[in-house]
């Protein structure tokens, strides 16, 4: 068995990508606009446009721009508001599109 891989052969990396937990009400969303003060307007995959915020523990580490894909956790007492709990990187968005999680 050959341990070395030729440069012409490509290996596929296996990485785990976090998906929304339907049991907890999480949905995918696309950032439409930045409103300031860590507030954003997000169009969710369930058809609702929500006013979202970035929770305190994510503020410094999460840079969000218009057009980014994120996981949204709607508030249980006010469905039109939500928190952003995860932001996808470019390769992760490509994987989501290939697997059919994002409706074009």
- Give, in degrees to the nearest 5, the angle at Cα 101 between 81 and 37: 30
pTM equals 0.77
**Domain locations in the chain?**
22-99
Instruction: Label residues 5-27 b or e (16+ Cβ within 10 Å = b).
Output: eeeeeeeeeeeeeeebeeeeebb
Class of domain 22-99: mainly beta
User: When comparing pLDDT for 99 and 11, which is higher?
Assistant: 99
Residues shown for the chain: 104
Nearest one of 24, 79, 21, 88 to 52, comparing CA atoms? 79
**53, containing H or E segment:** strand 49-53
Which pLDDT tens digit goes with each residue over 45-56?
989 999 999 988
């Amino acid at each position: 068995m050959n341990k070395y891989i030729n440069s012409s052969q490509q290996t596929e990396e296996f990485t785990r990508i976090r998906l929304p937990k339907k049991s907890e009400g999480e949905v995918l969303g696309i950032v439409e606009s930045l409103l300031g003060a860590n507030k954003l307007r997000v169009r969710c995959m369930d058809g609702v446009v929500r006013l979202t915020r970035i929770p305190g523990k994510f503020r410094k580490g999460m840079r969000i721009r218009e057009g980014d894909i994120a996981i949204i956790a709607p508030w249980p007492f006010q469905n039109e508001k939500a928190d952003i709990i995860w932001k996808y990187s470019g390769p992760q968005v490509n994987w989501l599109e290939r697997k059919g999680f994002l409706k074009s």
